[in-house]
Structure 1
């Protein structure tokens, strides 16, 4: 059975997959690796599961180091094969959302849900073993730590900046030169940056956007809040471009997405600012919300010339939609990836 030494596997995708296969074996399922990470099928591996009676199913394995209920609602999986989600631990709120979406899963504690044809494996209630603290803190400088995410965001917004000196990337993202070097090295090692002949350029931009948006939801998003407000009438915002520009305000979230995808009818505003916009708050009679309001004011975390539109760059609009945990917004996130020029270019890189 699972023991504490196996928690070292929590730190990497290969180890997680191996631990999950052991749990599947304990449940009487034989697993065969059909393809490894990096093959043409999207996912971390392709795995064939076979029951003792010979029933079989082939999955695209998706390894996630952490899952929240919001991510379980919004997570994007392969459309080529049924998805098998592998993660250290699936809490019951997360499990409920995965089952509702028809996503099969297994965790390293032994919780699992697999359903196809006449096969049903449903194991619930196994407790999360004590997981030692990872050597990489969310505050760390890795590409998907809190500081590293700022650097990756710059590259997603302006891929040509991959060729810039470290000091330029540091200035645009507001992080140290050491953090930039760590992030560039990590991205190059993972195949997201091509380095050669004195040049660097972004590669696999669509996949990098997926990873960045997921990590943003977990690590960076919650740290940016300057306040939650409620307002009875949101009808004023489409005519407020001049007002927002004058106050240095940029709009993200579903309101910004609605200007890209006209099918979306936004019910909230997400504003990125250097400091709370007192004039805007007063003029539109915004009241502090005890819980989550319909106006979310967040700290701007980038300084990139050429991104001064009253809308934030589209990679952040997309990430805001995913971080909302709202399936409706997730659907529109998928739509804007097919119609926004910057996101389409990233997907083709």
Structure 2
């Protein structure tokens, strides 16, 4: 099985000089995929194990709950991004990567290896619906469902995609049963919630990093505290935490997110921003072609939901659920 292959590769990549020995065991407890028996200096621990390709920020709260319910718990993953590994260590969730990197802090055992290079992830099956271009088209389908049955030439113009890409995207969605033909001329989305989950994961990894214009701080920090007083033009929208705050009045933003069609230089002048890699203002290029998203100068609630879920923060997670219930649930 592929899952066991991941485990065995990971165990082979743990350096012998650590003196750690792992054995994979079947017959796991309910809800776990398997157990790993760790032997070190004549002591044993049996870890209830889950295996994932990777973990994204929005999955952390549920993973933390699972870890508490299945103690002692260990996550095995093909690959974990540095930020995710930091979060796992903060939450004291043991993990093992396919490359042999490992973290365990259990009782009086502390093991940390983080020097091994990542093992290349297997490529997706080539589904064009979840490429950078495909994600823009799927976003249009999810947020403006009337576009699904418009001519492909119009969809291509709306999304900035090549005409041939629209057919490839639709084929990719059909392949995974996300798009169904109702009749000769009409199509409809299927399993929309599952599609959104997949879009959310691919967006965080594939598209959003390419959209980042930069990270900044305000020359006057009062603008951060009173961000709602900032006048946005028709080409700039609040996203992420400030949008969540605006839509729910529940969240106090830890950082500000903007999406825009304006230039970096123009934004710095307009909002008196100073480039700062640790700044609390993140700005991304808008990837849609719509004049105005919301009356409140926020991006579409779906993108707000996605941004909040991808933070991995519990308060953001709660805010995302409120947005889901108020703005999105009836569409899914």
Per the normalisation by structure 2, the TM-score is 0.72
Aligned counterparts, 1:67-216, within 5 A: 71=56, 75=60, 77=62, 85-90=75-80, 94-112=84-102, 124-125=113-114, 127-128=116-117, 131=120, 142-198=128-184, 199-216=186-203
Q: Structure 1: 5+ residue runs without aligned partners?
A: 1-13, 36-40
> 1-side partners of 2:62 and 2:248: how far apart?
22
Equivalent of residue 320 in structure 2, options 305, 327, 336: 336
Contact 1:28 1:51 survives alignment (8 Å):
yes
- Label 1:332 to 1:214 Cα distance change in 2 as closer, same or farther (>3 A): same
SS at match of 1:307: coil
Aligned residues: 308
How far apart, CA to CA, are the structure 1 residues paired with 2:151 and 2:138?
15
Aligned residue in 2 for 1:10: none
Distance in 2, matches of 1:315 and 1:262, equals 17
For the 8 Å contact 1:145–1:219, the answer to whether it is kept is: yes
In the TM superposition, what are the counterparts of 1:272-287 in structure 2 within 5 Å?
Answer: 272-276=259-263, 282=269, 284=271, 286-287=272-273
Change in 2 beyond 3 A, CA 1:179/1:317? same
Give the Å deviation of 1:218.
2.1
Deviation at 1:256, TM superposition (A): 0.9
| Cα deviation 1:3-57 (Å, max 9, x = unaligned) | xxxxxxxxxxx84x2422434787212246999xxxxx9xxxx623364999877
- Give CA deviations for 1:67-95 in whole Å, capped at 9, x if unaligned: 6xxx4586454667758644323477643
1:171-214 Cα deviation digits (max 9, x unpaired)? 33221122222222222222322334333222333333233223
Q: Aligned in 2, Cα 1:305/1:32: closer, same or farther, shift over 3 Å?
A: farther
Preserved contact between residue 104 and residue 112 of structure 2 (Cα < 8 Å): no
| Corresponding position of 1:8 | none
Instruction: Tell me by how many angstroms 1:276 deviates.
Output: 3.0
1:229/1:156 CA distance change after superposition, 3 Å? same
Cα deviation for residue 122 of structure 1 reads: 5.5
1:345 equivalent in structure 2: 330
Change (3 A) 1:200 1:171: same
Match of 1:29, SS state, is strand
The residue matched to 2:129 in structure 1 has which SS? Answer: coil
CA contact (8 A) 1:110 1:123 kept: no
Change (3 A) 1:31 1:289: same
SS at match of 2:116: coil
TM-score (norm. length: structure 1): 0.69
Alignment-derived partner of residue 52 in structure 2? 62
Q: CA deviation at 1:59?
A: 5.5
RMSD: 4.2
Structure 2, unaligned runs of 5 or more: 13-21
* Map of 1:3 onto structure 2: none
Question: Residues 220-265 of structure 1: CA distance to partner in whole angstroms, max 9, x if unpaired?
Answer: 222223344322222554245xx424x4322212111101222211
Report the Cα distance in structure 2 between the residues aligned to 1:306 and 1:201, rounded to whole angstroms. Answer: 25
Given the alignment, which residue of 19, 36, 55 partners 2:5? 19
Larger displacement relative to structure 2 (179-188 or 331-340): 331-340
Asked whether the 8 Å contact 2:10–2:98 carries over to 1, the reply is: no
In 2: Cα distance, 1:178 partner to 1:33 partner: 48
CA separation in 2, counterparts of 1:104 and 1:195? 45
In the TM superposition, residue 306 of structure 1 has moved relative to its aligned partner by 7.2
Specify the alignment match of 1:296 in structure 2. Answer: 282
